[in-house]
Amino acid sequence: MPATQPNRREFVTLTALLISLVALSIDAMLPALSQIGNDLGAEENERQLVVTFLFLGLAIAQLFFGPLSDSIGRRRSIFLGLGIFIAGCIVSAFATSLPMMLAGRFLQGFGAAGPRIVTVALVRDRFEGRAMAEDLERNAARLDKLVVQVESRMPEVVYEHHQNLCKR
């Protein structure tokens, strides 16, 4: 049975959520970075690599996900990216050393790039001109609201979760 097209509201919500993975990956980690760095035995300057490796993964993945989405399809590319992102989250959550955390963050960046790149392509496929600009503007507004809500609660959750994993 063929999939039905989501209505405009569903489409805007889904694209906002998929694009927000990048912001969430950065903003959720920053406030707890010093505590996590202490737990992993990282020096102060080495802690910054956690963000750098995420961006490195994002940058490299852009070279792959555009052509990949054209060859295997948008949906499969999004799911592949989400799978890689989740794998990176698991590696990062169970990291016991800085290199392991950096590997997880690279995977998170690589995976988050997939939905980000493909979502922008979906918007361009579906809309053009003013409609595309309005859709991207709505996504940005929803993303801002989502990030503010998540940012206010996430640092404590990330830190407590990491502390509990390190105690085991």
3-state secondary structure of 96: coil
DSSP-based three-state secondary structure for 34: helix
User: Contact at 8 Å (CB) between 114 and 57?
Assistant: no
CA-nearest of 2, 19, 1 to 123 is 19
Summarize pLDDT for 1-40 with one digit per residue, the tens.
456 666 777 777 777 778 778 888 887 788 888 888 888 8
Q: What is the pTM of this model?
A: 0.74
Contact 95, 104 (CB under 8 A): yes
